[in-house]
Structure 1
Amino acid sequence: MEVLSALDLGDLIASFSKLPIYPVFDVAYYIISILYLKYEPGAVSLSRRSPVASWLCAMLYCFGSYILADVLLGDSPIDYFSNNANVLLASAVWYLMFYCPLNLFYKCVSFLPVKLIFVGMKEVVRVRKIAIGIHHAHHHYHHGWVIMVLIGWVKGSGVALMSNVEQLLRGVWKPETNEILQMSFPTKASLYGAILFTLQQSHWLPISKANLIFFFTLFMATCKIIMTATHSHGSPFAPLESFTSNFLFGNPNGDHDDHSDHHHHHDDHHDASHSGAKSKEDLNEGTRKRKVKKAE
């Protein structure tokens, strides 16, 4: 009986790894991607003011990962736009999301139970894109592990790594909000997934690609569905990351460098530290005053 159930699971995993993602899963990916675009401040007014800029933003949200991966591998960044069916599907989703009468399409897909289904389907596409990205990079650079991880990460992270370019199209410039400085859960998970798939591709991870695709998709879909349902912005990796970061890289708030500078440039640094401390105190005092005013 156990052997039969194991065989059934094996068949399920094999079938899942061969499951075509076009068109159903791709459409779910476009719906969630453009839904997140619509959540961005000013996105709706932009769609009225400049439909071309809005459409370009939507295309970046849907195909940003392909564009960036092609640039990194030395291919044309507009190669993916030769896939007319995908571009038309994404454009149709964009049009319905922003211009559907009575906002009906948006209301339907943002209804939580429906949205959760699409969120899970998007993760199926994300993991498949990571796996394909690793395979593609391996074809170009057989022993280029860093390149393989990089391409897999880019393929999985979508527009997140190009967020500043997309913001420029919307007339926004916030360099301090780039995804490298403040990684979201999907970006971190895509990086970890890219490392796993690279190890598997290089035969350092004793697991089949089909199994890895199945279990990593299960993990990603479960996490994203739970996070979306609970409106959580936390990361399941946070406790492990906190411990590992402290162990490997030290406390991010530590002042080890300050001490070494102080040791080498005692007099000058003492004055600079003193003035820095003063300005910090002044800043904190100003913040406290503003808070009191707001409270009043």
Structure 2
Amino acid sequence: MDPQTFLDIATVVTKLRMYPYFDIAHYILMSMSVREDNHPPSTSGTHLFSRKHPFSCWIATMLMCFAGSIVANLLIGEPLITPFKDHQAVMTATAVWYVINYSPFDVIYKLCRFLPFKLVISCMKEVQRVHKVHHAVVFAMKNYPGSYLIIVTMGVLKGAGYTFMRTFERLLRGVWIPSSNEILQPSFNTKGCLAASILFILERKGLIDAPHAVIFFGVVIFFVYFKLSSLLLGIHDLFVPFENLFCAVFMGGIWDALKQVLSRGEKKAEENGSARGGSAATKSKEE
């Protein structure tokens, strides 16, 4: 592709407005996530949670739809209810929640789960994710200059806040799974937002000599590519091999392996010594 054409496309992607289409894609995925967490598609049930507890289902879905802003506001001391000031966004999210859960014959939900549609919706969601991460980094660098931990955390929470909200959202639905939370088991989305936040910080500090549109578009391609890999090829986490290598080198993995080898050698030597002692005793007894 011609560099100028690539730059033009990148500039267009950078200037895309998130509302309504990209935000609707996000609301669709969050509504489906809450519904499928109650009743996975592989299970069949006549009494769906949304029928028995519609208010709880709606609250849980709204928390997931606006999770990034809620959790980020909690971090910086802003009112948690601020994201719900945008009535247009709340009404849009509510309309999406309604059609996902209550459309006749579940036609909207089934359509959104149809692979070609799901691919498009997921790619649009990744564009929105990068947009949120970038704006969070810009906001944090203006208000907390030099506080890189806060800046990175803001980028991660805005881009993948719903993964941290999941535990609390489940509590509202009467589900308690303490071993399944984002702190214990970080997802690829959280790790990707962490990497994207660091990249945007380096760009803002002038350590990366490239146009902003190219960097932004490159991050979008990164997220979209691995989302497609997850949906089509089942590759869910790119960072696992690097994490395993890092843990083996710097988190005691080598020493644990060496300790196991030495303990096996000692145990084998003890067993051989015991075997020799037993055979010698048997031989002397025969004599």
How far apart in 2 are the matches of 1:177 and 1:254? 26
Match of 2:50 among 47, 51, 56: 47
Contact 2:7–2:213 (8 Å) recurs in 1: no
Partner of 1:94: 97
For residue 202 of structure 2, what is the amino acid of its counterpart? Answer: L
| Runs of 4+ residues over 4 Å off in structure 1 | 255-258
Q: Check the 8 A contact 2:38/2:49 in 1, yes or no.
A: no
Tell me the equivalent position of 1:12: 9
Q: Which residue of 2 aligns with 1:248?
A: 250
1:21 is paired with a residue whose SS is coil
- Cα 1:129–1:253, aligned 2, differ >3 Å: closer, same or farther? farther
What percentage of aligned pairs have identical amino acids? 33
Aligned equivalents of 1:158, 1:233: Cα separation in 2: 22
Q: Select which of 30, 33, 36 maps to 2:33.
A: 36
Does the CA contact (< 8 Å) of 1:28 and 1:119 recur in 2? yes
Question: What is the CA-CA distance between 1:241 and the residue it aligns to?
Answer: 2.0
2:238 corresponds to: 236
Assess if the C-alpha contact under 8 Å between 1:116 and 1:229 holds in 2.
no
Match of residue 224 from structure 2? 221
Give the distance between the partners of 2:255 and 2:174, measured in 1 at CA.
34
Q: CA deviation at 1:65?
A: 0.6
In structure 2, the CA distance between the partners of 1:217 and 1:255, relative to structure 1 (3 Å rule), is: same
**Is the contact made by 1:112 and 1:229 (CA closer than 8 Å) also made in structure 2?**
no
**In structure 2, do the counterparts of structure 1 residues 145 and 8 end up closer, same or farther at CA, with 3 Å as the change threshold?**
same
- 2:187 is equivalent to residue 184 of structure 1: yes
User: 1:170: which partner in 2?
Assistant: 173
Matching residue's letter, 2:245: F
Kept after mapping to 1: 8 A contact 2:61/2:97: yes
Shift of 1:117: 0.6
Query: 1:105 aligned to 86, 90, 108, which one?
Result: 108
Structure (1 or 2) with the larger CA radius of gyration: 2
Q: What TM-score do you get using the length of structure 1 for normalisation?
A: 0.80
Q: How far apart, CA to CA, are the structure 2 residues paired with 1:27 and 1:16?
A: 17
User: Gapped runs of 5+ residues in structure 2?
Assistant: 41-46, 261-287
Measured in 2, the distance between the counterparts of 1:67 and 1:214 equals 27
Name the SS of the counterpart of 1:204 in structure 2: coil
Q: Distance in 1 between matches of 2:214 and 2:232?
A: 27
Q: Which residue of 2 aligns with 1:196?
A: 199
* TM-score calculated relative to the size of structure 2: 0.83
Give me the CA root mean square deviation: 2.2
Residues 27 and 257 of structure 1, relative CA distance in 2, 3 Å threshold: farther
